[in-house]
Structure formats: structure tokens, C-alpha cells
Amino acid sequence: MDAEMPTAPTPAIRSAVTVPRSKTTPVAAPRTTIATAAPRAVSTAPHNDTRSMAPDPPLLECALCRRRHRLPRCGIFKGMTPQQRQQVAQAHGHCLNCLAPTHRTPECTTSYQCQICMRHLHTLLHRTAVPDAGRRDVPRSQIPENGADFAHFSAVHQTCLLVNAEISNKSLLFKYVQHRWEADWSTSPLPKSHVAVLQLTHYLQMFLKYKMFKVDIKAKQVGPSFVHLDIKSSILGHIDILQTVTPIEPLVQKVSHRFYARRGLGPMVKLMIFAESVMFERDMFIWNHKVFRNTPILVKEDIAIKKFRMWFSQFYTENSISFIDARKILDW
């Protein structure tokens, strides 16, 4: 029987015994393939070399435009709505947490979180069913503009921290424990015209008569997205707060606060974090109910707001997108 080898043909061996031929038609015997082991590669590299000889993996290809970049960097993908992005990611088998095509969502081991709702979901897939829950549709300039809006300190931040602002009239603390504020906003001369300063003094007024717990705050606005709050108090000591505003998408901003103080002021810093979070949530109520007007009517008490908007206009260019256009498009 002839044996067929995959590498080199083997010659057939003839038998030395004479066998009479049969009169029946000969039938060919089935061929048998004998698998041979592949020759081992002999490495000439030294034994302490741990480099892999495997070739580099090819670059991932975008599922939409077939270019050499990941899906989150695709311009077509960014131009879609969050619902359309999720449908595309699911259709092409991408992980909804990190948008990688190599595994499914339940198999994801990364610690990635949405930068808006802090859930295990990619930020580009974030969407909100209720407009006022989680999403703050507000231009970047509106966040630091509160410092020049002196009237909002008494209207929003006068209520005690321990009282719910929505039902404050039903609490005795609203009448006998209140926050009082004295504010002054100004700009800096050249060459620091990009810096604005808010001088703020806080008192805790007890029984509509006694002032205590004085806190001096100097908020320095540097450019459109950075604020340095220098807080000094006889009780709290000296605390620095750095506030940054990062645009996530049109009309959606991420605001971060970082607190710095001496190690011994740990309990006081926790109190300041609580106070800052409560006051910031009250500001969100203002932002969510603001209405855009091309020519707003400002009274005499709003002169600081007009000065702030004139100062903030230096950070726009002739190519800056308008408020109306920003609400219509996502690719920015």
C-alpha cells in the first residue's frame, strides 16, 4: 500500500513473493494520510531573552468608517444621538462600558464610569429620560456667572444648610438660622485682564440678631473654566478649593472641586464639602430654569452681571458656536 506523506513522497515497497493475479477488477486501496509533526524552530537567541516572536497584532478598524481608529474617536459615531450610538455599539458587538470590540459588556473588567452619571456606562452613551435628572443643560459661562449675581445669594443661599430649600418656610431654622452674604465682583487690570475676583463675606445669623461663624472667601476666576477659592476663618482655618469646569458635550459641563488643607483640619474639610455640595445643588435649580434672551432686561442691581458678560466675551472668537446652534448639533 502506498502511503502519501505531506512533506515528501515515500517510494513504494514491492513484495518478493509471487502472488497469482485475480480475474476480478482490482479495486484501489484507500489512501491513508499520516500526519507528521511540524519541525521545531531552533531559536538562536540567548536563554534570558523573553521577547515574544509573535507578530504585532493589527490595528483595530472602526466599525463605521473602516479607518484605523477606535469607535469612540470616529466622527460619524460622535455625530449620532446617544441612542443611535448604543444601537451601533450593540450591533457590532462592542462593550457598552469601554466601547471595546474584544469583549461583551458583562465580561468588561475595566473600572470606567460615565463622567455624567458615574454609572458603568460610556459617557458617549449617556442619555437622560427626565430633563432635570442628572443632565444640566447650561452653557459654560453660566456656572461662574453666579458669582456676579448678587441677588441670588439671598434668594438661594440664605436658607440654612440643614433645611430643604423647597420647603424652607415650614421650618423654624429658616426663620432663626440664616446665612448672610456680602459680595463684591471686579476685574483685574492688564496684563491680567483674564482674571476676575469675587470678594465674599459670610455670616451665620442667629435669631435675626447675632452674627457668628464669619468666613472670608476670595474667589479668583482665571479664564473661563478655572476658579481658585481662598477660604479663611477663625474656626475652619485656611482651606483652598480648586474648581474646574470641563465641557462634556454641548450644554453639558462637568464641575470638579478639589479641597486642600492641613491634615489636622480633616473634620472641618468634611463640613466644607457638605456645605459646598448643598449650595451647588441649589445653584443647579437656577441653571435649570434660566431662559435665554438675546436682549435681556437688566435692572440697576444687575450691573455686575453685565460687567461679567462683557468680561467673559473675551474668551469667545468669531468662530465660536452660538447658543442656538449648540442646541441643534452634537459634533462640536
162 and 309 together in one domain = yes
106 and 226 together in one domain = no
Angle value at C-alpha 104, between 101 and 108, nearest 5 degrees: 100
116 and 156 together in one domain = no
CB 124 within 8 A of CB 99: yes
Find the radius of gyration of the CA atoms of the chain: 35
Residue 282: phi and psi, rounded to 5, are: -70, -35
CB 152 within 8 A of CB 146: yes
Number of domains, the chain: 2
Q: Is residue 37 part of a domain?
A: no
Q: Is the pLDDT of residue 228 over 90?
A: yes
Averaging pLDDT over each range in 86-90, 229-233, 249-253, 312-316, which range is the top one? 229-233
Instruction: Give yes or no for a cis peptide into 191 (omega within 30° of 0).
Output: yes
294 and 261 together in one domain = yes
154 and 291 together in one domain = yes
100 and 149 together in one domain = no
Angle value at C-alpha 21, between 19 and 22, nearest 5 degrees: 125
For residue range 87-132, what is the model confidence (pLDDT) as tens digits?
A: 888 888 888 888 888 888 888 888 777 877 777 788 888 875 434 3
Q: Is residue 7 part of a domain?
A: no
Chain centroid, CA 184 distance in Å: 33
173 and 80 together in one domain = no
231 and 84 together in one domain = no
C-alpha cell at 140: 459654560
Q: Is residue 18 part of a domain?
A: no
Q: Is residue 219 part of a domain?
A: yes
107 and 151 together in one domain = no
Residue 51 bridge partners (DSSP): none
Range of the domain at 272: 142-314
273 and 155 together in one domain = yes
CB 98 within 8 A of CB 123: no
Q: Is residue 189 part of a domain?
A: yes
108 and 237 together in one domain = no
The percent of residues in the chain predicted with pLDDT above 90, rounded, is 16
Which residue would you say has higher pLDDT here, 63 or 1? 63
**CA–CA dist 84, 91 (Å, integer):** 11
Q: Is residue 231 part of a domain?
A: yes
Segment among 21-30, 177-186, 272-281, 303-312 with least mean pLDDT: 21-30
For residue range 237-253, what is the model confidence (pLDDT) as tens digits?
A: 899 999 998 877 666 77
Sequence-distant (6+) residues with CB within 8 A of 256 are 243, 244, 246
Cα–Cα nearest to 311, from 247, 230, 246, 222: 222
DSSP per-residue codes, 68-89:
SS-GGG-HHHHTS-HHHHHHHH
119 and 168 together in one domain = no
Per-residue pLDDT, averaged over 74-96, amounts to 85
Question: In the prediction, which pLDDT does 17 show?
Answer: 42
Question: In the prediction, which pLDDT does 140 show?
Answer: 60
For residue range 193-213, what is the model confidence (pLDDT) as tens digits?
A: 999 999 999 999 888 888 888
Q: Is the pLDDT of residue 133 over 80?
A: no
CA atoms within 13 A on the CB side of 319: 1
Q: How confident is the model at residue 331 (pLDDT cuts 50, 70, 90)?
A: very low
**CA–CA dist 79, 316 (Å, integer):** 23
The answer to whether the predicted template modeling score (pTM) of the entire model surpasses 0.75 is no
Segment among 13-27, 192-206, 276-290, 300-314 with least mean pLDDT: 13-27
Domain at 281, CATH number? 3.90.380.10
For residue range 271-285, what is the model confidence (pLDDT) as tens digits?
A: 889 989 889 888 887
Q: Is residue 22 part of a domain?
A: no
Q: Is residue 261 part of a domain?
A: yes
